[in-house]
Amino acid sequence: MSFADLGLIPELQRAVADAGYTEPTPIQRQAIPIVIAGNDVMGGAQTGTGKTAGFTLPLLHRLARHANTSTSPARHQTRALILAPTRELAMQVYESVKTYSKHLPLRATCIYGGVDMNPQIQELRRGIEIVIATPGRLLDHVQQKTINLTQVEMLVLDEADRMLDMGFIPDIKRILALLPASRQSLLFSATFSDEIKKLADQMLKNPQLIEVARRNMVSETITHRVHPVSSGMKRNLLAHLLRHQPDTQALVFVDTKLVCGRLAHFLERHSISADSIHGDKSQQQRTETLEAFKAGKLRVLVATDVAARGIDIDELPYVINYELPHTAEDYVHRIGRTGRAGHQGNAVSLVCTEEKHLLADIQKLIKLEIPQEVVPGFEPDPDFFEAGSRAHRGRRPVEDFDERPRREPRGGREERPPREERAPREDRGARNVVAKRPPRSTIAPDGFDFSKPYVAKPVVLAEGAAPDASPAEAGTPRRGQRPIAFLLGGLGRK
């Protein structure tokens, strides 16, 4: 089947051919005719399936009748609204819209928070047919009356489950109330919970269901593996794994901004080019880091869930869960960054005893028992294999990372900071999030702000500071102590 068979107008067929696509993916085959026919859609599709083109192409097809080259803003009313949970995803969708609309005089823009509103206002004043937005910033524009949504004919809610996670549902409902009732609506979600179904009931009229993979299932092109390891040895194991795969890029997921920055520094100090993206970084920093990673200038990108949302890199071979996510659905999202568009991918998770319950939840969700492989020299705590664990005490050589480091780390064990010293999970930039736990102070007794990315400082930290900010790692060993790098086998020595 070709894109022409799906009934797309020639301008879109040309754009698709320019993008190098020869045939539609399964979600595109299903979604395009249904959307062209004007139906509402509830789409169960994971990332990497071609979902974005699946809704963008028929959306452009339907809006093509409004395409015109007039300079009058009145001739360019906002006809389509695409909502995405994060700036990264919004930008990615915007790029797709630009790619596929290149032969049509339709205008698109991307509006998201964290940046000056004025350029967005100028852009909206010109008249824009397709607005791709994050919910919070869209509402800011609504409040300032810098956007008019009364002519919207098509609404797309992308990654609805993520919207829910981020507390955006009240914002979404407010936006729905501002749109004409006679619109066409499409809702996409990689996973479906009862709350998502409730939202779909409110938002969609007689929706057609489209599902390309079983709900909450992960792509079959991904190989999953768990390395049981003690929490204190995780980063050494990560460095070990990466050193033994010198040519591959990896996206490494962590749970907090604090760990994010520190881990990237740690890898850098071990001569593995790495950088981090998380919510404390400016939009410009995040964009530059992503570009460097996409261009292959960075080997490792360490990211929090939110910052990594929407990362679309062709043929990314490895996703590594340095810490398991707290919700099993996030595992599906994370590993959806690899094994895309039919390529083979690897999902590697470093799991310590404290995370066994999270692993059980993930396995239950994806209906898969993930093979476990202990890497010699990086064993987990003995209780990892105690009752309740489905772990296999395997000591088989690790398939891909089959070489031991020349000198295994025996000393210099690092500990995770005590729970109360860890940074809170990333503030997802969401509005209306009801905090489940009272916010903890992120300022240590010595004034160290744990909510900020780690920057090495040549000072001895006060008692109670996180051990992984130890002076040894910062390159200034305490007197009489050997630097951890030395204990690790001379790594980082000049």
Q: Residue numbers of the site for ligand AMP (CB under 6 A)?
A: 21, 24-25, 28, 47-53, 312, 314, 340-341
Minimum distance, C-beta of residue 221 to ligand AMP, in the bound complex (Å): 12
Three-point CA angle 65, 69, 74, nearest 5° = 80
- In the DSSP assignment, the letter for residue 489 is T
Q: β-strands 130-133, 108-111: how paired?
A: parallel
Of 28 and 249, CB closest to ligand AMP: 28
Q: Give the separation between CA 453 and CA 462, rounded to whole angstroms.
A: 18
Query: How is residue 395 written in tokens?
Result: 């000591």
Of 48 and 412, CB closest to ligand AMP: 48
Minimum distance, C-beta of residue 341 to ligand AMP, in the bound complex (Å): 4
Of 24 and 207, CB closest to ligand AMP: 24
Query: How is residue 355 written in tokens?
Result: 């995370």
Of 220 and 420, CB closest to ligand AMP: 220
Minimum distance, C-beta of residue 1 to ligand AMP, in the bound complex (Å): 11
Minimum distance, C-beta of residue 220 to ligand AMP, in the bound complex (Å): 15
- From residue 281, give the alpha-carbon distance in Å to each of 87, 286, 307, 308: 13, 6, 9, 12
The answer to whether the beta carbons of residues 300 and 239 sit under 8 Å apart is: no
**Which residues are CB-contacts of 160 (< 8 A; sequence separation ≥ 6)?**
187, 188, 189, 196, 199, 200
Query: How is residue 322 written in tokens?
Result: 């340095």
Phi and psi at residue 468, in whole multiples of 5°?
-80, 10
Of 83 and 485, CB closest to ligand AMP: 83
> Helix axis angle, 135-143 relative to 118-126, nearest 10°?
70
The answer to whether the beta carbons of residues 340 and 311 sit under 8 Å apart is: no
Return the closest-CA partner of residue 87 out of 346, 308, 362, 376.
308
- From residue 400, give the alpha-carbon distance in Å to each of 173, 231, 240, 244, 396: 47, 22, 12, 8, 12
Minimum distance, C-beta of residue 17 to ligand AMP, in the bound complex (Å): 11
Of 227 and 340, CB closest to ligand AMP: 340
Return the closest-CA partner of residue 225 out of 317, 97, 156, 123.
317
Q: Give the separation between CA 161 and CA 166, rounded to whole angstroms.
A: 9
Of 53 and 358, CB closest to ligand AMP: 53
Of 93 and 263, CB closest to ligand AMP: 93
Return the closest-CA partner of residue 343 out of 365, 321, 313.
313
Minimum distance, C-beta of residue 307 to ligand AMP, in the bound complex (Å): 17
Of 99 and 285, CB closest to ligand AMP: 99
Minimum distance, C-beta of residue 45 to ligand AMP, in the bound complex (Å): 7
Minimum distance, C-beta of residue 47 to ligand AMP, in the bound complex (Å): 5
- From residue 322, give the alpha-carbon distance in Å to each of 145, 209, 255, 280, 347: 44, 35, 8, 20, 11
3-state helix, strand, coil in the chain (%, to 5): 35, 15, 50
Of 340 and 356, CB closest to ligand AMP: 340
Minimum distance, C-beta of residue 312 to ligand AMP, in the bound complex (Å): 5
Of 55 and 401, CB closest to ligand AMP: 55
Three-point CA angle 406, 409, 413, nearest 5° = 170
Minimum distance, C-beta of residue 299 to ligand AMP, in the bound complex (Å): 20
Minimum distance, C-beta of residue 438 to ligand AMP, in the bound complex (Å): 37
Q: Give the separation between CA 21 and CA 136, rounded to whole angstroms.
A: 34
Strand partners, 154: 80, 184
Specify the residue for token string 């390159």: 475
**Which residues are CB-contacts of 68 (< 8 A; sequence separation ≥ 6)?**
75, 76, 105
Minimum distance, C-beta of residue 295 to ligand AMP, in the bound complex (Å): 15
